[in-house]
Each structure stands twice: as C-alpha cells, then as structure tokens.
Chain A
C-alpha cells in the first residue's frame, strides 16, 4: 500500500495530519488526567510537566540501555555518551525483530506508568495536607526542580543535550511514513482506552464523590468519604497515565531531552485545554485539546512561510502570548469553557425520561390526584 501524498501550500497534508493526530492524542491523554485532578477533584496540579517528564525520561533511558543489552551491542563507558554511536546499529537490529521491539516498548510504557505513580504518590503526600494555593506552589516548584534535575544529572537522559531513543517501530517502516501511521494506531487505541476509562470514572459513584469533595470537602467528609485516600488515588492514577503519555511521546520522537519539559510547554497548555474546553467535561477537553494541538502544529508548519521576514522563534513567543491571552479571556468571559460541566446521568437518558413519564401519567396517580382535589 502506498501512502498518498497531498501537497497544499507546500505542506504534505497526510504527513501533517498524522503528526497532528498523534500529538493531539498525547495532549488529550495528559489533559484528561489534568481534568480528573483539577476538573473533577479540585487538585490544582501546576506541576504536570514533572509527571510527563518522569515517564518520558525513564522510558527513554531504560529502553535504550535494555535494548543494547538484549541485542548484544557493547559500548564503552556511559550509555548517554555512546548512544549516538550505536543508535543506528540498534535501530537496524530492532527493525528486524518486531517482537522484541514491542516487548521493550511495552516495558518502557509500564515503567513510565510506574515512575508516574511513584512521583504522584510522593506529590500526594503534601497534597492532602495543604491548601490549594500552597499545593499549587509546591507542585509548580517541584516540576521546576525536576527539570533542573534532568538537565544536570547526566546518567538519566544525558544531561543538557538529552539522549536519542532507539526506534521501536522500525519494523513497521516498510515504506516512508508507514511507521507514523502504525504509531498513530497505537496512540489512538491508548487514548480511546484512557478516554473511556476516565469517562466511566466520571460517571461512576466515585466520580460523584470526587465532585462532592471538590465542592464541599467538609460535607463529604461528614458523609463518610475518605477525602485523603481518594485524592491520593486520583493523583497516583492521573500521574501514572501522564507518565505513559510521556513515554509514548518519547518513542514517537525518538529522543528525550530536559529542555522540553518546561512549564510553558508541558504544564500551561493543559490548563489552556481544560479551561477552554470546559473543566469537568471530558468531551469539552477533547475539543480543547484539538484546538490547541491544531494551532500548535499549524503555526509550526506555517512559520516557514514567513522565513526571512520574522525570526522563527518569534512565532513560539507569539504563541505563548496568544494562548495566555486566550486563557485569561476565557476565564473572564466564559469560565465554564466551550462545553460546561454537566451533571452526570447514572441511568440512560431514555430510562430516566421513561421513569418521569410513568410517574406523571400513571393512571393510579391521576386518580389519586383527582380524589385529592375532590377531597380538597
């Protein structure tokens, strides 16, 4: 099968859409986790970058070492330094061995989930004890430190310059572009699973408990809900999923470095997405994530049209400025977002409607009513 190529404005639309959709899926997953934390449970996670970065870093650093070990490529000294030298050999070996590739890939994602959960557990320790504002500050500061740690501790991901990650989808690349389509399939599957899971959580009794805790902690505690344990669980689950998203991103771009995980690029966007789409509404978040990813990628492609007129970095800065203004405007003018939070229906809409109907038009009730009227 040959992948068609449609060129518009000097941009290959197929490649562009595949790239856009992969990035969209990853952003959507992380936004959903933030929505679970901030939208449903009221935990202001201003340190999202840390959890995604944790997953990405562990996946990047372990998978490369492990595959070098399994394939039997020896390197002298530190892995981070020798990665550029052996990466081609590794990729060649891995592309001939799809099963091994997939195994290491899954292991990487699992490890990322693990490290995400651990970081989440650590973060949840103060989370339960602090007020919103202190907690937000603490998470923000922790994420900042985590980035500094990644940058200045070379054994993890090679310090400042980052490391390259072997290509675990090399076997799929029978023709140019096929690899990305396979990744899109994998990422889509993951995203759909996460979306369904989070949507089910939101509709479950647990989801209603979360909202109850968010809206009135004292009352929910009085009703016997253990808010501490529930919040802890929310942070751990959300962070684990964020870590997995980070790992998938790493495997897609085939490298991981410390400078990616700044507050500007990996915490702030998700707040834009959930506020724009509607906090506490997963479908709204899906819309918000698409808006964000589309603008991000379109500007990324479009800025080359202005080459020579404006420095390309200016567009990144303009983007920060534009998204920040957008966020503040949404907060001021439509704080509930595009799709506001709805009260969840535990039963199907038709069932509820049916119950109401029978209630209203039941002959017994009518008779009762009329007899009451007569009596009155």
Chain B
C-alpha cells in the first residue's frame, strides 16, 4: 500500500489523505463479489485493480489537477484529499446501505474477514499470496523503472518535470499512469486485506496511519523505501505487540496502533528523509573522517 502512496506523493507532492479509501474500494469489491456471486476475493483482484486505478486517476484528473492549475496551495490540495476521503466514506456508507436494502446484507457496514481463501499445508493461502505479491510488485516496479524506456521516462518526469517535458516526454500521461498504478495497487491490497482482517466503510481511512508511517519511514521520495517501510512497520507492529503481551500482559495489545505513529514521529524528527537516505548520509559522514585520515598521514609524512 505504501508503495502507491509514495508514487502519488512523488508525482504531485501532495500527501494523499484519500489514499486509504482506495484500499476500501478493494475491500468492497471483494465483499460484493463474495456476497452477491459467491466468488472468492481472489477473483475480485482484477476488478479491484481496475476500479481502484480508475477512481484514482479520475481523482487526479478531475480534482487535484484542476485545483493545482487554478493555483491552489499545498494546504488547499491536502484539504481536497481529506474531503475526497470523507466523500469516499459517504459513498461506501451509501453503498452498504444499498446492499442492505436491496440484498438484505445486514453486515455491510462492518463485516468479518471474508471466507474463500484456499489453504496450503494448513496455513491460509493469504499468508503466501500477500508477501509473494508484494515481492512481485516491488520487483515488477523495479524492472519497470530501471529496465524499460517508459520507466526511465517516468523517473525523469518525477525527478525533473520541466526537463522531461523538454525532452518530449508526455509528463501528464506519466503522472496519470502513476496514479492509476497507485490506486490499482491499493485497491488490490484491499482485496487481500478482506481475506485476513475485518472490513468496514472506514477501514481504509483508519489504515492511513500505517500507510503514512510506512511511506515516511521508508522515505517519501523512494518507492523501494516504501516497500521496506511497509515490511518494517507491519512486522514491528506484530512483533512488539506479541512480545509486549508476553512481558506486560494483554493490556499492551491495544497500543498496537500506536507503534506506527511512534515510528513516524521518530523518523520525522531524527531522519526526515527516511531510511533510504541512510546510505547517502553514511557517505557524507565518512568524508570528514577521510579528510582527517589524510591530514594525519600528511602530518606523519612531513614528520618523517
């Protein structure tokens, strides 16, 4: 999920508060498929991807770009994404009310995780499907960005839009593509999510803490960083909670959601560029040492 947020942040430089709602799109397409046609959430993946990418690019084209062209400030764009998020909660609410009145699906606003998962050696399939697809998506993105011509064009438009435009790259198209990809990925992860955890109309909005934390931890400017951040946040949330419960008793479990927040605050205060900046910083830091070393050697030589 964080990968997509980073992608949209890279292209428009606006933190997308509505991003979590794309996850909810996936969750609801999984729910509709399951409860109306009895299809497993895996079957909903392509539709989720399509719906997510369409809404996401629609949001970029219809609202954010329009506002940006009218000269809205950064804060105004942030408010707009917040409004879109709220609108999504409204839309999902109306949709679940509709599911209720039309199909008598009483649990539409809040439902447990969906069945329909396969099992592999007694372990639910999602435990394999989710990490492997994450790895696949990261690898795929890596290949796209480094190996293909379009990927290079994409990086160019992100790094320096005006220069890319001069070189004849259709920057607008690249941005729309990035948003489509981001929305699609988020929505797909929503379909996965529905297999593992309970869903509801504002699940996506609530997930935003983890998503932001992953992106910030990894470094908002880096796609690989986001994947890394996502894994660290997810793992630490589970790890700290289980270890904490062992040590301090079950009352610690409720603070699970605080962990990503703590990570986020620490990252912002200590390492605002995210983990991905570490490598660069190390090099920078080593320069004075190098100089001192040379100086010492120089003095030593002169002493001779």
Contacts and interface: CB of A to CB of B under 8 A. Distances in A.
Interface of A: 38, 42, 44, 46, 126, 129-130, 132-134, 136-138, 140-142, 144-145, 148-149, 152-153, 262-264, 267-268, 271-272, 275, 310-311, 313-314, 316-321, 323-325, 327-328, 331-332, 335
Nearest to B71: A335
A19 B67 CA distance: 37
B86 A141 contact: no
B36 interface: no
A320 B82 contact: no
Contact of A331 (B67, B85, B97, B264): B67
Interface stretch (B126-134, B188-196, B253-261, B276-284): B253-261
B258 A149 contact: yes
Interface in B58-113: 63, 66-67, 70, 72, 74-76, 78-80, 82-87, 89-94, 97, 100-101, 109
A185 B116 CA distance: 58
Interface of B: 13-15, 17, 63, 66-67, 70, 72, 74-76, 78-80, 82-87, 89-94, 97, 100-101, 109, 202, 205-206, 208-209, 212-213, 216, 254-255, 257-258, 260-261, 264-265, 268-269, 272
A129 B82 contact: no
Contact of B257 (A44, A148, A320, A328): A148
Nearest to B64: A328
23 contacts: A38-B75, A133-B74, A134-B216, A137-B212, A137-B216, A137-B264, A138-B264, A141-B261, A149-B258, A263-B205, A264-B89, A268-B82, A314-B93, A314-B97, A317-B90, A317-B93, A320-B86, A320-B93, A323-B86, A324-B83, A328-B67, A331-B79, A332-B70
A305 B36 CA distance: 31
A318 B86 CA distance: 11
Contacts, number: 144
A320 B87 contact: yes
A130 B268 contact: yes
Nearest to B84: A324
B264 A332 contact: no
A268 B83 contact: yes
Contacts of B86: 263-264, 268, 320, 323-324
A171 B255 CA distance: 41
B83 A327 contact: yes
Q: Is the interface of A mostly helix, strand, loop or mixed?
A: helix
A335 B74 CA distance: 13
B202 A335 contact: no
Nearest to A312: B97
State the 3 A-B residue pairs at the shortest beta-carbon distance, nearest first.
Answer: A317-B93, A320-B90, A152-B254
A126 B70 contact: no
Contact of B258 (A130, A145, A313): A145
A129 B208 CA distance: 22
A324 B21 CA distance: 14
A145 B258 CA distance: 6
A126 B265 contact: yes
B101 A311 contact: yes
Contact of B67 (A149, A314, A317, A332): A332
A327 B205 CA distance: 18
A317 B99 CA distance: 14
Contacts of A44: 75, 78
Contacts of A153: 254
Given A141-B209, A313-B93, 18 more contacts: A126-B269, A132-B75, A136-B78, A137-B264, A144-B208, A152-B255, A263-B85, A264-B86, A271-B79, A314-B94, A314-B97, A317-B89, A317-B92, A320-B87, A320-B90, A332-B63, A332-B67, A335-B72
B93 A328 contact: no
A304 to B, nearest CB: 16
B75 to A, nearest CB: 5
A120 to B, nearest CB: 16
Nearest to A147: B206
A105 to B, nearest CB: 31
A321 B78 contact: no
Contacts of A272: 83
Given A126-B269, A144-B208, A316 B93 contact: yes
Contacts of A313: 93, 97, 109
